[in-house]
Amino acid sequence: MSISKKLLTAIFAVVLGTVVSCDTTEQKLTPAEFAASPTSELSGIVGNTPGDFSWGFYGKNLQLNWPTPDLQWEEELVLTFVQIKDGEVVNRYTTVAASTEDTDGNEATSGALFPGETGPELPVGEWIPSTNWIPSTNWIPGSQWSPSDIEEVALEEIDLSSDQTMLVVYTKAVERTDLTGQKTQPYGIIYKQGE
- Asked whether residue 6 falls in the same domain as residue 99, the answer is no
For residue 7, give its domain range: 1-29
- Asked whether residue 47 falls in the same domain as residue 22, the answer is no
- Asked whether residue 17 falls in the same domain as residue 96, the answer is no
Q: Report the pLDDT value the prediction gives residue 178, as an integer from 0 to 100.
A: 55
- Asked whether residue 126 falls in the same domain as residue 48, the answer is yes
- Asked whether residue 177 falls in the same domain as residue 103, the answer is yes
- Asked whether residue 115 falls in the same domain as residue 134, the answer is yes
Give the residue from 188, 193, 194 showing the smallest Cα distance to 46.
188
Q: Report the pLDDT value the prediction gives residue 24, as an integer from 0 to 100.
A: 41
CA 79 to chain CA centroid, nearest Å? 8
> Could you give the 3-state DSSP secondary structure of residue 128?
coil
- Asked whether residue 6 falls in the same domain as residue 88, the answer is no
- Asked whether residue 10 falls in the same domain as residue 51, the answer is no
- Asked whether residue 130 falls in the same domain as residue 111, the answer is yes
- Asked whether residue 54 falls in the same domain as residue 13, the answer is no
- Give the phi and the psi of residue 95 in degrees, each rounded to 5: -70, 170
Highest mean pLDDT among 1-5, 39-43, 63-67, 72-76: 39-43
Give the residue from 126, 122, 175, 184 showing the smallest Cα distance to 154.
184
Domain count, the chain: 2
Q: Report the pLDDT value the prediction gives residue 32, as an integer from 0 to 100.
A: 77
- Cα–Cα distance between 118 and 56 in angstroms, integer? 5
- Asked whether residue 174 falls in the same domain as residue 85, the answer is yes
Each residue's pLDDT tens digit, 6-54: 555 555 555 544 444 444 444 445 677 899 999 999 999 999 999 999 9
- Asked whether residue 55 falls in the same domain as residue 105, the answer is yes
Q: pTM score, two decimals?
A: 0.80
